[in-house]
Structure 1
Amino acid sequence: MDELRHLIREAVDAKKTTYKDLSIAIGKNHAYIQQFVERETPRELRERDARAIVELIQGAAAAGEAAPRRAPGFAPQIVPGEQLVGHRDLPIFAAAQGGDGHVIVTFDAVEYVKRPSVLEGVKGAYGIYLTGSSMIPAYEPGDMALVHPHLPPTRDKDVVLYHVPPANDAEAIIKRLVSFNDREWTLRQYNPFLEFTESRVEWSFCHRVVGKYSAR
């Protein structure tokens, strides 16, 4: 832990990151890492938090710029107003919090909104009002994920996974897709930072998130 404290202090002094950014990246209050370094409270970090901090600092050093206030791989696309299409025909569904970071999506549109150009003419495109905190800061509760159901799975993109074809009420996972093979998906969430795997047999349907509307 002393080596980690030294690494953090050097990165902050070199303005590669800040105590606040590192704290938020692992889902803690803004002073958590500063207290860890300067007051040794707590005396030790959890292994996954320590690993995430090292990766953030190393990534910032490699890029030659400040580490962002987010976990590795967080790059959501916010759709600017000029890219909206005139027709208000994109159905938006509601999601309710389920267990283990899952959500229950009800496929009965609660409203229709203007669709972004990336979804213009896409059959079956939709949006989901998000709930829960596992994807903060990429997605805040109340944000609307914009979903293209026909794009293939792609690494380092956000996805919605379903057990069954989306219809009526369906259990879903909304995470960052880190990698995948014939047997499993490797997924990432940000709050708390965690990477884990899920079976492709159990979660057979993968829809790509192509952007978001921020909560109003």
Structure 2
Amino acid sequence: MSSDLATRIQQRLSELGKSARGASLEAGLSDGFIRNILTGKSTSPRGDTLEKLAIVLGTSEAWLLRGEPAEIENSDRRERTKGFSPVIIPGEQLVSNDKKLPVYAAARGGDGHHIVTFDPIDYLKMPAVLQDVKGGYGLLLTGDSMVPAYWPGDTALVNPNLPPARDTDVVLYHTPQFHQGEEEAIIKRLVGVNDREWTLEQYRPERVFKESRADWTVCHRVVGKYNAR
């Protein structure tokens, strides 16, 4: 471990009590990603990957690369993000070798919306969080309105039977008719709810906004995800 980047990553891992593998998975990367940096097998990450590492390690991109002091606003961003990451489902929680979980495609629409086609594009192994859940499904995502929680190509794991709950990720639909055509949907974080409206949050661009429950009548809970990477 000779590079300054590797030294700083190891410092933060030690301070946080995290393992290289655990931090890699928390960032939505391959389990050996950070280990390869520490052992000199990979070069410095850039762009979105560096940003994800900085968030998980509780610092800034500038500090990781050059040792510059972490900016205050990065700490604020971590506070907003730390409760927002869905559970990443590891391989040992795949409970069946049979591929029974239907995956629907969510094509990018306008204003952060998705157009979901209820004709499975694939079937995946069933994760423990959806075992014996009637109507459970995966949603293959595009667009970047929910980065860093969900990146394009990630699959959200959805339980349609759980009630709405604050501080969870949800998929809202107008009037879904599953397995029949297409439906407009949005995947956001549920900040609050009352009889009239949903209060939702997204991250790119950052905003909190309200939508009418009369317009978005159905709420499905996201219980985890499969990473595209």
Output the TM-score relative to the length of structure 1: 0.69
Residue 193 (structure 1) shift: 1.2
Give the fraction of aligned pairs with identical amino acids, expressed as a percent: 60
Shift of 1:53: 3.8
Select the residue among 173, 177, 200 that pairs with 1:162.
173
Q: Secondary structure at the match of 2:92?
A: helix
Summarize the Cα distance change of 1:186–1:72 in structure 2 as closer, same or farther, 3 Å threshold. Answer: farther
1:117 maps to what in 2? Answer: 128
Q: How does 1:1-216 map to 2 (within 5 A)?
A: 53=73, 56-57=75-76, 68=78, 71=81, 73-86=83-96, 87-167=98-178, 168-216=181-229
Higher relative contact order, structure no. (Cα contacts within 8 Å, ≥ 6 residues apart): 1
Deviating 4+ runs (over 6 angstroms): none
Q: Distance in 1 between matches of 2:171 and 2:191?
A: 13
Task: Output the CA distance in 1 between the equivalents of 2:176 and 2:107.
Answer: 18
Q: RMSD over aligned Cα, in angstroms?
A: 2.9
C-alpha displacement of 1:72: 5.8
Is the alpha carbon distance of 1:69 and 1:133 closer, same or farther for their aligned partners in structure 2, counting shifts above 3 Å? farther
Gaps of 5+ in 1: 1-14, 32-37, 39-51, 58-66
Q: Specify the code of the residue in structure 2 equivalent to 1:160.
A: V
Q: Shift of the alpha carbon at 1:75?
A: 2.3
CA distance in 2, matches of 1:182, 1:69: 29
Q: In the comparison of the two structures, how many residue pairs are matched?
A: 167
Q: Output the amino acid matched with 1:198.
A: E
Structure 2: give runs of 5+ residues left out of the alignment.
1-14, 16-49, 56-60, 63-68
Q: CA deviation at 1:150?
A: 0.5
